[in-house]
């Protein structure tokens, strides 16, 4: 093989490696934007955009001890219709206490992408404003299982646990079953 051929092969290998890295970085950026849109759509009362962040069979599993939203300490909403029920619930997000008065923030996101599947772990907190001012409403973490469909990332499952909850530490496992 000539020196010129070897240089071309090395260059092609470098270009291929760079393309793979750019794709990985683009996936991570799109996932971070997806998780940001989650909070933005909830807080701006854009319920349908919130629902559309999920795959059709997407699931929300939230640790909800002593919550009126679920009789079970783990609330589960599976499929877009059930996610819509969650976000439009008049005793939950649509209550006068929360609707248009809360802010959800995700941060410290760690993302693991494997082809068209990904897992992201993040801390979250939510604040609410009332007549006495701004207050911390909740703090915890989320594990997000994500799926890329037709080139776009969606939430396959959100699993949330609150600070102090027995599920909090285990929820940060980056390799869920």
Tens-binned pLDDT, residue by residue, of the chain (177 aa): 788 889 899 989 999 999 999 999 999 999 999 999 999 999 999 999 999 999 999 999 998 766 766 777 788 999 999 999 999 999 888 888 888 899 999 888 889 999 999 999 999 999 999 999 999 999 999 999 999 999 999 999 999 998 888 888 877 776 544
pTM for the whole structure: 0.87
Residue 156: inside a domain: yes
Instruction: Give the residue carrying structure tokens 């600070």.
Output: 163
State residue 46's pLDDT score.
95
Q: Is residue 177 part of a domain?
A: no
Task: Specify whether the CB–CB gap between 83 and 60 falls below 8 A.
Answer: yes
Question: Under a CB-based contact definition with an 8 Å cutoff, are residues 165 and 67 in contact?
Answer: no
| 3-state secondary structure at position 42 | helix
CATH number where 149 lies: 3.10.450.50
pLDDT of residue 177: 45
Which residues have C-beta within 8 Å of that of residue 69, sequence separation ≥ 6? 62, 75, 86, 89, 91, 92
Residue 49: which region, alpha, beta or left (left: phi > 0; alpha: psi -120 to 50)? alpha
pLDDT at 107: 87
pLDDT value of residue 113: 94
Domain extent, residue 146, equals 3-172
In a domain, 167, yes or no: yes
- The answer to the question of residue 127 being in a domain is yes
Number of domains in the chain: 1
């Amino acid at each position: 093989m000539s020196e010129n051929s070897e240089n071309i092969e090395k260059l092609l290998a470098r270009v291929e490696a760079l393309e793979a890295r750019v794709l990985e970085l683009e996936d991570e950026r799109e996932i971070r934007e997806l998780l940001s849109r989650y909070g933005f759509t909830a807080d701006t009362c854009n319920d349908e955009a919130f629902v559309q962040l999920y795959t059709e069979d997407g699931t929300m599993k939230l640790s909800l001890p002593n919550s009126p939203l679920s009789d079970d300490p783990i609330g589960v909403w599976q499929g877009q219709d059930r996610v819509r029920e969650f976000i439009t619930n008049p005793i939950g997000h649509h209550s006068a206490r929360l609707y248009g008065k809360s802010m959800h923030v995700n941060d410290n996101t760690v993302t693991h992408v494997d082809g068209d599947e990904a897992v992201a772990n993040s801390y979250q907190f939510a604040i609410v404003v009332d007549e006495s001012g701004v207050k911390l409403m909740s703090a915890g973490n989320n594990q997000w299982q994500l799926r890329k469909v037709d080139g776009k990332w969606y939430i396959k499952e959100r699993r949330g646990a609150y600070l102090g909850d027995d599920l909090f530490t285990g929820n940060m496992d980056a390799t869920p079953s």
